[in-house]
Structure 1
Amino acid sequence: MNHVTKLAFSGGIRSFTSSLIWPYIGFGLYKYLGLSLVQVSQFYLTQLLISSIAYVIGGYLTDYLGRRLVMTLATSLSSLVLTLAFFLNTAGVIGMVLLQSGFSSIYAVANMASVGDMGGNFKQLVRSFSVIRVGINAGWAIGPAIGGLLLGDIGFKPLLLLGGVLSVVAIPFVYSLPDHKGRVRFFLPNRKFAMFLIPTLLTFTVMGQLGFPLVTYYSGLGIAVWQVGLLYAVNGGLIILLQRWIGERVSGNYRTWISVGMLMYSLSYGLVSLVSNVWEALLDVVGITLAEMIVSPLSQSISTSLAESETRGTYSGIYGLVSSMGRTLGSSMSAFLLTRGGEVTWSSVGGVGAVSAILYLALI
């Protein structure tokens, strides 16, 4: 089993155990542990802060300790804190879940740096990130469905315990990876990388809509929650089937293709306001997924190729920080605009995607 396949397997196992839990964290805290909606909102804000700090710290640790050790420690500690959460009171559960979020962010940084260490040309980078995305989305395709069923049967804290125990399976895959260390250095990223981050922030602002904003909007249209769940299953299934094929074909002229992908995002989200039933929603989600399969591996590959090899972990941490900020900005923007009419919301999202496409052409 080669390096990329091991990363895909470990990513699939981790995404499966995470997706058992994370789609239902807010609901579990509210319904099972008695937090108010305001407290749940505060939880998500705290989680954003911890994840942002973890991306930066993870970048430096990845260069100092090496990719393999950081991924092994992050996976092991994620498993440990979720297991401990089962035995603690409400405050302890919140603390452990927040820690698990931080460890997952650190893992993501080391994972991305590890792909860059393999060397090769840009096409090989896109191919590697496409394979890893297939593994991750295989986990996400089945995790939420199983987690939703188990939540009603066994409850919230036992579900955390199950996620903690199952995530141990990923440790042998991670520990068998080749290792690489960088050089710890406090610095400003190079100019090309910094310019790339400008449209990247807008890109993840758009990508952040595939979650709370779409669920909220579709539910308001009368589309059942289980039908929305099927839409996400279609998203994951298409990525499993087509990601590698699309990745091979967009890796040539990456500057043009990432702009085309953002224009597809712009059109697909701009049309959300015209959706009136689940079948129209399904067609729109297909468009969103096609855009995702173009943009996501290209974005990761461009970031990796622009990073300096000696500090690749730190660069990956900065990229993770910006992507996290963009996703949160996107969700917050839509939550605000939804109160002013869905048409305004989705045309605004489409506009952000179009601006991002133009900036990729202008700045890369």
Structure 2
Amino acid sequence: MKTLFNNYLNTFSGLSREVWWLALITLINRAGTMVIPFLSLYLKESLDFSLSNVAWIMSAFGLGSVIGSWLGGKLTDKIGYYKVMTFSLLATGLLFIALQFLITFVSFSLGIFLVMLVADMFRPAMFVALSAYSKPENKTRSVTLIRLAINLGFSAGPAIGGLIITTLSYGGLFWVDGITCILATLVLINVLNPKTTKTLDDIKVENPKSAYHDKAFLIFLIAMVLFGVVFLQYFSTMPIYYKDVHDLSVTEIGVLLGLNGFLIFAFEMPLIKWLENTTFTKTGLMLFGGILTGLSFIILNFTSWTGVLIIGMLLMTFGEMIAFPFSNAFAMDRAKKGNQGEYMALYSISFSIAHIFGHNAGLQMTDKLGFENTWYIITGLAALCVFLLFFLRQYLNAKKRIKEKERKEEKEILWI
């Protein structure tokens, strides 16, 4: 047991001090956004908004996220990741505190739009910082550590949020959210100041390439939007399926969803460490992750046995553990060619778009077509994602062969 534990700890070795600090800041920030899971309840119960109004506010939430990610990328390329992260965390803290005082539909819609715009400026800046503070061979594991911090934050946040609502009311959530963001800012200023930190992969591009002209990256982004739409069904339509079709209790649903977080915590880092030492390419691993996630839906239509839900959760979780870290690492690798902030902003936006359409589309389909047909359609989207990733792999291999041929011809000319 001791050997197993030591082997697990060894999978975290080699990561820079700055990456660990960035993970802690992310953990504080993610745990602090505990108002988000309770937002729809707050709007309906405390402010007496209709479901239609709540839906529009959530759309404003998603739109703010998209624009914030884009703006964060632009500013990162202009003024650097440190300034963007510092401003985003501090301003988000102050805006969260102010949000509780907005009580009309229009003011709250504008307020949540502004909060998400400022909050999601942090994401592309954080990814660029992560790339700078990681050795090239450690980038995928660095991403995995950040994902671990995000998962821990999202797990702790709702639990703490529930206690705060019980003891302090919904208003307490906004205060705690704001204060945790401000605390994360203070940590960032003290431990990641450019004057004292050490960059391990300083990328300077003389003639930066626009991500919008990178064909391979655009194909990748479309695949990620599709993967995001498929993956997000587990956090909107799937819990309803568990309850309505398999008669699971709220506690059983919580345990099943909690299995996802536990498996990620226990196995993701060792799995990524092992996969990094294999000959598999990033695109090949993303493709495999997409296949596993798609299979997690289609198998639900083959049997009414409740145990299939656990198998589906296992397939989805391992698909997620493989696809997300390597897709993030792929995006960071492509970003070396040009404007890093722009590349990482578009990567973040791909999942923001999935959030805007994924939940709504899944719920609408289950309402009008039923769960069985919905799972077939979702599996079809996963298959399209896999096809795009396969095409991407072939495209990159072809370009690689062309470059190798050109280098060979240049050597032959020089020899002559």
TM-score, normalised to structure 1's length? Answer: 0.91
C-alpha separation between the residues in 1 aligned to 2:314 and 2:44?
32
Amino acid at match of 2:274: R
Amino acid at match of 2:385: S
C-alpha separation between the residues in 2 aligned to 1:316 and 1:106?
11
C-alpha separation between the residues in 2 aligned to 1:146 and 1:174?
23
Structure 1 counterpart of 2:377:
348
- 1:21 deviates by 1.5
Structure 1 portions without partners, runs of 5+: none
- 1:276 deviates by 5.8
**Percent identity among equivalent residues?**
24
Amino acid at match of 1:8: A
C-alpha separation between the residues in 2 aligned to 1:347 and 1:101?
33
Greater shift, 89-98 or 336-345, is seen at 89-98
C-alpha separation between the residues in 1 aligned to 2:343 and 2:218?
10
Secondary structure, counterpart of 2:174 in structure 1: helix
Structure 2 counterpart of 1:361:
390
Q: Is this contact kept in 2: 1:62–1:182, CA < 8 A? A: no
- Work out which of the residue numbers 264, 281, 295 in structure 1 matches 2:323: 295
1:337 counterpart = 2:361? no
Q: Is this contact kept in 1: 2:221–2:346, CA < 8 A? A: no
1:11 counterpart = 2:34? no
Amino acid at match of 1:31: E
1:134 counterpart = 2:163? no
1:170 counterpart = 2:184? yes
- 1:57 deviates by 1.0
- Work out which of the residue numbers 270, 275, 289 in structure 2 matches 1:250: 275
C-alpha separation between the residues in 2 aligned to 1:100 and 1:241?
33
Secondary structure, counterpart of 2:234 in structure 1: coil
Q: Is this contact kept in 2: 1:223–1:277, CA < 8 A? A: no
Pair 1:283–1:156, CA change in 2 (3 A): farther
1:76 counterpart = 2:90? yes
Pair 1:5–1:277, CA change in 2 (3 A): farther
Question: 1:47-58 alignment to 2 at 5 Å?
Answer: 47-58=61-72
- The superposition leaves residues 183-204 of structure 1 with CA deviations (integer Å, 9 ceiling, x where unpaired) of 9989433222122222122111
Pair 1:263–1:349, CA change in 2 (3 A): same
Secondary structure, counterpart of 2:121 in structure 1: helix
Structure 2 counterpart of 1:225:
250
C-alpha separation between the residues in 2 aligned to 1:83 and 1:185?
39
Pair 1:103–1:278, CA change in 2 (3 A): farther
C-alpha separation between the residues in 2 aligned to 1:293 and 1:126?
11
Structure 2 counterpart of 1:63:
77
Pair 1:62–1:282, CA change in 2 (3 A): same
Q: Is this contact kept in 2: 1:271–1:346, CA < 8 A? A: no
Pair 1:309–1:10, CA change in 2 (3 A): farther
C-alpha separation between the residues in 1 aligned to 2:90 and 2:182?
7
Question: 1:57-136 alignment to 2 at 5 Å?
Answer: 57-91=71-105, 92-118=107-133, 120-121=135-136, 123-136=137-150
1:327 counterpart = 2:327? no
The structure number with the bigger radius of gyration is 2
Q: Is this contact kept in 1: 2:60–2:109, CA < 8 A? A: no
Question: 1:176-255 alignment to 2 at 5 Å?
Answer: 176-177=191-192, 179=194, 187=210, 188-221=212-245, 222-251=247-276, 252=278, 253=280, 254-255=282-283
- 1:279 deviates by 5.5
Pair 1:119–1:9, CA change in 2 (3 A): closer
C-alpha separation between the residues in 1 aligned to 2:94 and 2:128?
24
TM-score, normalised to structure 2's length? Answer: 0.80
Structure 2 portions without partners, runs of 5+: 1-15, 195-201, 394-416
- 1:169 deviates by 2.2
Pair 1:290–1:178, CA change in 2 (3 A): farther
- 1:274 deviates by 5.9
Amino acid at match of 1:346: W
Q: Which of the pair has the greater relative contact order for Cα pairs under 8 Å at 6+ separation? A: 1
- 1:178 deviates by 5.4
Q: Is this contact kept in 1: 2:60–2:112, CA < 8 A? A: no
Q: Is this contact kept in 2: 1:58–1:317, CA < 8 A? A: yes
Pair 1:208–1:68, CA change in 2 (3 A): same
Greater shift, 67-76 or 49-58, is seen at 49-58
Q: Is this contact kept in 2: 1:261–1:292, CA < 8 A? A: yes
